[in-house]
């Protein structure tokens, strides 16, 4: 059986905050884990408006 992964672009939409985006990412990671996904990836971005570019840890 092939392992399935998900790639999260972590978009920060209009009227949303960094915290909102982090909460959404956590919810997505938990959701896909429950459904058998094996990996959760976060895309790295540079100079792309609307996408989270740095994590504070």
- pLDDT beyond 60 at 56: no
- pLDDT beyond 60 at 54: no
Question: Tens digits of per-residue pLDDT, 25-45?
Answer: 999 999 999 999 999 988 876
Helix (H, G, I), strand (E, B) or coil at 51: strand
Question: Tens digits of per-residue pLDDT, 8-18?
Answer: 988 888 898 88
Beta strands in 1-57 (DSSP E): 5-8, 39-42
What is the C-alpha to C-alpha distance for residues 45 and 9, in angstroms, rounded to an integer?
8
What's the pTM? 0.72
């Amino acid at each position: 059986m092939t392992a399935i992964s998900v790639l999260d672009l972590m978009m920060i939409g209009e009227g949303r905050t960094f915290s909102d985006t982090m909460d959404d990412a956590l919810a997505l990671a938990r959701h896909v884990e429950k459904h058998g996904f094996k990996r959760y990836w976060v895309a790295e971005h540079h100079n792309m408006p609307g996408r989270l570019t740095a994590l504070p840890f």
